Chains A and B, each alone.
Chain A
Amino acid sequence: MSNENYTARPLPVVVFADFICPYSYIALDQVDDLVRDYNVELLWRPHWLHPEVPPSGAPFPADSAPQERQARTLAWLREMAPERAAHVCFPEKIQFSLFAFEALEFAQDRGLALPFKTAVFETLWVEGRDIGQFSTLQAAADKVGLDADELGRALTGQRYRQRVHEALQLARDAGVSKTPTFVLGRYRIAGWHYYEVFQTVMEKQGVPLRSALMAGFSPKKDGS
């Protein structure tokens, strides 16, 4: 049982992800559900899958049979997240993530990291746009109420570059090797998983449902 009291303070939840990862994309709904259902403090952190890719992007390796791979991923998405799968648009190249990570830091400083990350994911996976372009990120910023011009200046001046590299190092130091990787208090889940798994992890740590809190339920300190 937990020796923490998560009625008083939120459980820290960190998601290490890359915008170009389809499994991270469909984790959006689960993470949103988690924030809706439990008292958690969510932080979205970068894990860069393809640092070797240049800003203009790179073709998928020919030996990776991109069409087959896409079909396989789509079959998986249809089973795991049918609503997202119905609208998914696969990119035609491996996109460059670093600018999007910098933009996420920009949004973080303005308290809009969570809606911004969703906007970036949907820009890529629904609209099929290239997130390696400043203009794409600025359009996503605009959607969530960020100053697109200011973001453009921040990206051009590489204002958040160092911070992103530190965040990427943090992910490496933490042993993150899969996207998405979820750290939920004392538990780590590597790779996409069912929402019910997150519920189980919350219960194991004595994190009450928000609905229970609102109904006046107050668990004891031992979580019972």
Chain B
Amino acid sequence: MLNEYIVEPGVIPWRAGQLAGISFKCQILLNGADGGPEVLRFRFDDCPSVFAHMHLTSQFQLLLHGRMDFPKSTMKLRAIAVHYTDHNFPYGPFAAAGGHDMMVLHPKPGGLITMADRDARRQINLKGRHLYGTADDTHWELMREFNAARAKPLIPPRSGPYAIMVECEPHALIEVGGAAEGRYEVVLAGSALLSGHTLLPPGLRYVHGDESPQPIEVGADGATIMLLGFDRDAREGGMTGDRLSVAAAAAIERSI
């Protein structure tokens, strides 16, 4: 069985939002209403401190443009960059600047929990993973898995979850295989045909299931595609209806 979702952000409206004094624009690319994947796209105005928070599911942040600086001195994300956290793993505060544009990608609805919530701190995932990588800091590799295309493993597959940026030749056919725990495929540059839809940046496909989806057919000008794969943590957490879930859902509702 294979579940697929296709998103063409160019046809989805932007809305303005404000939360805790932070102003931003937001697109709801997938709303997770069916319990499936949730994708939000945020453009934060320059902000020195987006408050510390966590989500109730695993998450990729894909920084498309601009920069995000975390307290850790080595964690300065410059687009293109990826930041991953397991469910219930807090991060931040972080600064956003430079024309910030970011996708937040969950395998299911994740809500938003501010770490000012002391009860929520008791729900922190003590074994949670926190992974990140930037395109500038990652070397190209030739990867047999993708027809010997050049690729940058920003978060290598040995980590569990992975983020691989693949540079595809014009008209290449990229077999990407099944995704038992779910995988996003985001077009960063060029164009590609995914499941019958021609996607331009930052169009995306989400696939979930053991069956392989249709291969990615790269357009005439080539394409750069980010593959963001979840592992078993994608099964954990989520909105269960408990107090924390209700608070998380309310917070995300307020913010978008």
Binding site for B on A (CB under 8 A): 23, 64, 68-69, 71-73, 75-76, 78-80, 187, 189, 193-197, 199-201
Contacts and interface: CB of A to CB of B under 8 A. Distances in A.
Interface stretch (B25-33, B46-54, B144-152): B46-54
Nearest to B52: A79
| Max count, chain A CB within 10 A of own CB: residue among B70, B71, B118, B121 | B71
Given A71-B48, A194-B115, A196-B118, A76 B124 contact: no
Given A72-B69, A79-B49, A200 B126 contact: yes
B73 A69 contact: yes
Contact of A75 (B49, B115, B121, B122): B49
A79 B48 contact: no
Given A72-B95, A75-B49, A196 B124 contact: yes
A195 B51 CA distance: 18
Contacts of B71: 23, 72-73, 75-76
Q: Is the interface of B mostly helix, strand, loop or mixed?
A: loop
Nearest to B120: A196
Contacts of B90: 194
A118 to B, nearest CB: 22
B73 A75 contact: no
Nearest to A68: B69
A200 B49 contact: no
Nearest to A194: B121
Contact of B122 (A78, A189, A193, A196): A196
Interface in B88-127: 90, 93, 95, 115, 118, 121-122, 124, 126
Contacts of B115: 194
Contacts of A71: 48
Given A73-B71, A76-B71, A194-B121, A189 B93 contact: no
22 contacts: A23-B71, A64-B73, A71-B48, A72-B48, A72-B69, A75-B49, A75-B95, A76-B49, A76-B71, A76-B93, A79-B49, A79-B51, A79-B93, A80-B52, A187-B126, A194-B124, A195-B121, A196-B118, A196-B124, A197-B121, A197-B124, A200-B122
Interface residues of B, number: 17
Given A72-B95, A189-B126, 4 more contacts: A23-B71, A72-B71, A75-B93, A199-B122
Nearest to A178: B72
Nearest to A187: B126
A72 B69 CA distance: 8
A56 B52 CA distance: 36
B21 to A, nearest CB: 13
A197 B126 CA distance: 8
A199 B73 CA distance: 28
A165 B96 CA distance: 41
Contacts of A80: 52
A30 to B, nearest CB: 12
Contacts of B126: 187, 189, 197, 200-201
B124 A200 contact: yes
A216 to B, nearest CB: 26
A23 B71 CA distance: 10
A81 to B, nearest CB: 12
Contacts of A68: 69
A79 B115 CA distance: 9
A195 B52 CA distance: 15
Nearest to A71: B48
Contacts of B73: 64, 69
Nearest to B74: A64
A134 to B, nearest CB: 29
A187 B126 CA distance: 9
- Nearest 3 pairs of A and B residues by beta carbon: A196-B121, A75-B49, A76-B71
Interface string B160-192: 000000000000000000000000000000000
